[in-house]
Structure 1
Amino acid sequence: MRDLPRSLLLTPPPRRYCFVATGYLVRDGKTLLLKHKKLGLWLPPGGHIEEGETPDEAVLREVLEETGLEAEFTAPPRAPVMSNGRVESLHEPQRVQVEEIPGHNHHIDFIYYLRAKAGAHVHRPDESDDIRWHSHEDLGLPHVPDEVRESARDALRFVGN
């Protein structure tokens, strides 16, 4: 290691990224959050985008896997610029953000606001200690991270009832 330039020794390792999709699910003026087993925090459903999957497919799959609920986007996808059969428009996320996950890769997170389809009952997945619908007021409770609180309240305003 003595032969390496000092600048190389002080350079942090390059950031590694993975892609995830998150869904703020709204129904009856409330948004659904899950209490993460390891972190003890209330978080929206979401997870890694699998190979061969688009972000909007991933968010619907993750919501279904983690809650048992089917969801729908609040607006149709925009029309493609070219409609020659080779171009497909996706549902646009409300936001795309980079999240630093200590000890892991950085997540590039596609954030969607979704409406829960009526009729289905919520089930708790293995990865969660609890799952609960939160009103605007409930989002002020401890263990709801600030960025989750802000996005959840924004989803409630955007989606409405």
Structure 2
Amino acid sequence: MKITESAEPRIILHKHRKLNKLLQFGGHVELDETPWQAVLREIAEESGYDKNQLRLLQPRYNRLASLPGVKLHPQPIAIHTYPAGGGHYHTDISYAFITSENPIHDIASGESNNINLFSLRDLKKLTSKQIYDNAKTIATYTLTTVVEEWDEVDLLLYKL
């Protein structure tokens, strides 16, 4: 995957190696990290992007800027939970990052390297065999609403 200049926004998705469907980057929160630290670690492992190459999108209006005595996490696009089999659930937290650079690191060993950029037009062509409906909805919302109505903020605002 190589970023090239484009007039329209595009979203990066990767083909999950076990699920064989297109998804945003993600994974599990380790016992010694916060959810925000897990987001940044998973992006680095699965995409090769360093956090210094990324900007975060956050709501333009009525965004809580701080909380006394604690570290505030950024506002996600969506948080949703679904049954994952075996009597347990998975909860996904989706954020929107932007960049105009190519990743500076290699993708971690064992991760999918089937990564592509998708425009809104490309997303609309994807079938439920290629992408989960909820992932497609979040990606579409990101490209149609979030990139237009949310502001770029520095990741250091949420340093943990």
Q: Normalising by structure 2, what TM-score? A: 0.69
CA drift at 1:45: 0.4
Matched, 1:111 2:71: no
Whether the aligned pair in 1 keeps the contact of 2:22 and 2:131 (CA below 8 Å) is: yes
Show the counterpart of 2:155: none
* Alignment match of 1:80 (pick from 66, 70, 74): 66
Higher relative contact order (CA 8 A, sep 6+): 2
Partner of 1:90: 73
Q: Which runs of 5+ in 2 are unaligned?
A: 149-160
1:5-154 matched pairs, under 5 angstroms: 28=6, 29-70=9-50, 71-75=54-58, 78-82=64-68, 86-103=69-86, 105-116=88-99, 118-120=101-103, 125=108, 126-128=110-112, 130-139=114-123, 140-142=125-127, 143-154=130-141
| Comparing 96-105 and 47-56, the one that deviates more | 96-105
Q: What amino acid is the match of 1:135?
A: S
Q: Deviations over 1:121-153 (max 9, x none)?
A: 685553326111111122122311111111001
Identify, as 1 or 2, the structure richer in helix: 2
- 1:97-118 deviations in whole A, cap 9, x for unaligned? 1121123631122211121352
Q: Distance in 1 between matches of 2:105 and 2:113?
A: 14
Measured in 1, the distance between the counterparts of 2:95 and 2:141 equals: 11
Computing the radius of gyration from Cα coordinates, the structure with the larger value is: 1
Equivalent residues, number = 132
CA RMSD of aligned residues (A): 2.7
Larger % of strand: which? Answer: 1
Query: Is 2:144 aligned against 1:159?
Result: no
Counterparts of 1:150 and 1:135, CA distance in 2: 13
Percent identity, aligned pairs only?
Answer: 31
